[in-house]
Amino acid sequence: MSDILLTHAYFIGEDEAERKVMKPYPPLGLLYISSHLKRCGFSVEVLDTTFQYPSSTCEAIARSNARIIGLYVNLITRRYALKLIAACKAHGRIVILGGPEPVNYAEEYLDHGADIIVSGEGELTLAELIPHLQRHGLSRLDEINGIAFRSKNGEVSRTAPRAQIRDLDAQPFPDRGAIDLESYLTTWQRHHGVRSVSLITARGCPYACNWCSHSVYGRSHRRRSPANVVDEIEAIRGAYAPDQLWFADDVFTINHRWLTEFAGEMKRRGLRYPFETITREDRLNEDVAEILAELGCYRIWIGAESGSQRILDAMTRRTNAARTREMIGLVQRKGIRAGTFIMLGYDGETWSDIDETARHLRNSVPDDMLTTLSYPIKGTPYYDRVASRISSREPWAESTDRTLVISGRNSRRFYRHAQRWLAAETSLAGMTARRERDVVRYAKTKAASALNRLGMYATRHEVDRG
């Protein structure tokens, strides 16, 4: 009998937007928990739902002999998570929730059948919680740090925070062998011609962007050693032979000394993989861009969010719009594609701010752009700022934080048009830049040809040097 079944509630077949992109990656958080628990001696079953459907997942839960179910939930999986919780309770299972969403909606998830909600990292808490549940059931839960549950009087009780894992090198690599990773690789191969594997080199983000959730890792930043990361890359190479990597860190280039040491370790072991990752403008410079290019970075996403410095300051981004444009150009000159993120609809944004963002995109000409409409995630300063103006058109169980309505803001239709406009501006700027490069290339070719002809003429006809 398994001590615990770990699963999540993401179904790519139910995600219309992702089906157009088809760049899935496995749930690394669950796989880290699985490897940690197995090392502690627990019997762990992992049910990966990405390529499954809700009905088949409910059937798999019914077939499992695990009495305890650990379910990872984020804001886009709420609706399906609730269906899985109901399936678990129908078969008498103890349900533990983790991930960035449940801690902010503890009362709602407990009302819908969850027994325990884990706050923060799950490894250490579950390693203590599983034997406790096996001995005591759902009693004496106040002895376990880092959880929320219903007390006997019906109130939501939260225990003291769980200390974070300090030494990430001591943690085993994600338990990729527990799932069918080949399904992810073949999906990538079929749709994009490459096999791609994800990994993380650090946990947490120390920055204070007020719309970003820190409910799992807090504002900590804990980094693995370069050697430990390269050990994992060698293990990935041996097991899966990927064509490229995705470093899923919040800010990959945050520590420049670490990056230099990592590049040295990769070179020492003869490793070089194409990869993409995310950073900020203030963590890029000429040396960093050069290292990224040498490592094989083919695309780096630079979070711009807005071209309006006024909005960036309101977000507490602590970035500079003008320098973001410079860094986009810098990485492009190193042969790296520059992707950027734009967030529309932040509280207080005006038409002039959107126009400034359009100018920002025209002047920076990123290779790739993703836009989103700002949404207030519960537990963030941004949510608190607009809380009095938040409403929902749907019941909580059928909605997400993405669908919340902020009164006084432009309509979603307005922002759909704004997104199309920005995309068109970016595309036009890119076409213009490519055309200019073609013109320059043509002019250089003609100049070289003329110079060559001039040299030939000078050879045939001596120049009077008088």
Q: What is the pLDDT of residues 188-206, one digit of tens each?
A: 999 999 999 999 999 999 9
Question: Beta strand pairing status for 196-199 and 156-158?
Answer: unpaired
Across the chain, mean pLDDT equals 92
Q: Say if residue 436's pLDDT is above 80.
A: no
Q: What is the pLDDT of residues 62-97, one digit of tens each?
A: 999 999 999 999 999 999 999 999 999 999 999 999
Name the H helices within 171-247.
181-192, 226-240
pLDDT of residue 335: 97
- Could you tell me the sign of the dihedral formed by the alpha carbons of 172, 175, 177, 183, in that order? negative
pLDDT mean over 302-317: 97
Distance CA 166, CA 295 (A): 27
pLDDT of residue 463: 36
Q: pLDDT-derived band of residue 437, with 50, 70 and 90 as boundaries?
A: low
Instruction: Break the chain into its structural domains and give their ranges.
Output: 4-158, 171-440
pLDDT of residue 465: 32
Q: What is the pLDDT of residues 147-176, one digit of tens each?
A: 999 999 999 999 999 999 999 999 999 999
How many CB atoms sit inside 10 A of residue 1's CB? Answer: 8
Question: Each residue of 208-234: b (16+ CB within 10 Å) or e?
Answer: ebbbbbbbbbeebbebbbbebbbbbbe
Q: What is the pLDDT of residues 20-34, one digit of tens each?
A: 999 999 999 999 999
Q: What is the 3-state secondary structure (H, E, C) of 33-79?
A: HHHHHHHCCCCEEEECCCCCCHHHHHHHHHHCCCCEEEEECCCCCHH
Nearest to 295 by CA among 157, 201, 185: 201
Name the residue with tokens 């370069």: 226
Q: pLDDT-derived band of residue 252, with 50, 70 and 90 as boundaries?
A: very high
C-beta of residue 419 within 8 angstroms of C-beta of residue 411 = no
Q: Residue 440 class from Cβ within 10 Å (0-12 exposed, 13-18 middle, 19+ buried)? A: exposed
Secondary structure (DSSP) of 78-132 = HHHHHHHHHHHHHTT-EEEEESTTGGGGHHHHHHTT--EEE-S-SHHHHHHHHHH
SS3 381: helix
Q: pLDDT-derived band of residue 443, with 50, 70 and 90 as boundaries?
A: low
One fold for 4-158 and 171-440:
no
Question: Beta strand pairing status for 390-391 and 44-47?
Answer: unpaired
Distance CA 466, CA 463 (A): 9
Q: What is the pLDDT of residues 109-151, one digit of tens each?
A: 999 999 999 999 999 999 999 999 999 999 999 999 999 999 9
| Homologous superfamily (CATH) for 171-440 | tm_1862 like domain (3.80.30.20)
Q: What is the pLDDT of residues 310-365, one digit of tens each?
A: 999 999 999 999 999 999 999 999 999 999 999 999 999 999 999 999 999 999 99
pLDDT of residue 197: 98
pLDDT of residue 171: 98
Distance CA 83, CA 246 (A): 31
Q: Say if residue 454's pLDDT is above 60.
A: no
Q: pLDDT-derived band of residue 466, with 50, 70 and 90 as boundaries?
A: very low
Distance CA 197, CA 181 (A): 9
Q: pLDDT-derived band of residue 438, with 50, 70 and 90 as boundaries?
A: low
- Of 429 and 19, which is predicted with more confidence? 19
pLDDT of residue 460: 42
User: Residue type for 323, please?
Assistant: R
User: Residue type for 344, please?
Assistant: L
pLDDT of residue 458: 38
343: tokens are: 């967030």
| Homologous superfamily (CATH) for 4-158 | Cobalamin-binding domain (3.40.50.280)
Q: What is the pLDDT of residues 287-298, one digit of tens each?
A: 999 999 999 999
**449: part of which helix (H) or strand (E)?**
helix 412-460
How many CB atoms sit inside 10 A of residue 398's CB? Answer: 12
pLDDT of residue 321: 98
